[in-house]
Amino acid sequence: MINKVILIGRLGKDPVVKHFQNDNAIAEFSLATTENYKDREGKWQEITDWHNIKVPNKFMAERAEKNLRKGSQVYIEGKLRTRSYDDKDGNKRYVTEVVVEQFRMLDKRSDGQGGGGDYNQGGGNNYSQGGGNNYNQGGGQNQPQYDNTSSSPADDDLPF
């Protein structure tokens, strides 16, 4: 099964970072994504969805706190998690969050140097924990590279 989310949107608030005694930290913020479409009358309509974002490790949480602000545009890769809790009245509540595996700041930096960097939980040379050169959570092992140039369109059985 695959649980993969890719979002590009703008922060609805500054990241809130929580530090823990075990020297870990998480960051949380909301992200707005917008979809535009034409209705039956030909008028442009806009739908905005809000997503709860959780950055689950100290390194990325601190980078989010340092570099992201309300209104910042960001690319996020992660997975959906739904958790439940009991509210103060004893009612069971459910929350669906995007748990971030990687993010990239898309705004231009204020010093004119271009966009920000990639932040991820694994390999990579762009602000990452672990080692290696690929964006993965495995601590640095390289992901296999697939050569899809050798197969012809007739080789697959996809209906499109």
Q: What is the pLDDT at residue 120?
A: 59
Work out the pLDDT band at 64, boundaries 50, 70, 90.
very high
The helix (H) or strand (E) run that includes residue 13 is none
Which of these, 47, 85, 20, 63, lies nearest to 29 by C-alpha position? 63
Model confidence, pTM = 0.68
Q: What is the pLDDT at residue 108?
A: 78
* Answer CATH for 5-110 from 2.40.50.140, 3.40.50.2300, 3.30.420.40, 3.30.465.10: 2.40.50.140
Q: What is the mean pLDDT of residues 78-98?
A: 95
Residue 138 has pLDDT above 70, yes or no: no
More confident residue, 127 or 107: 107
Q: What is the mean pLDDT of residues 56-74?
A: 95
Residue 101 has pLDDT above 90, yes or no: yes
Residue 145 has pLDDT above 90, yes or no: no
Residue 91 has pLDDT above 90, yes or no: yes
36 touches 48 (CB < 8 A): no
Both tokens of residue 45?
């309509």
Both tokens of residue 10?
């703008």
The neighbour count for residue 96, using CB atoms within 10 Å, is 10
Q: What is the pLDDT at residue 116?
A: 54
Q: What is the mean pLDDT of residues 129-150?
A: 37
Residue ranges covered by each domain of the chain: 5-110
Which of these, 146, 121, 125, lies nearest to 136 by C-alpha position? 121
Q: Phi-psi region for residue 85, left (φ > 0), alpha (ψ -120 to 50) or beta?
A: beta
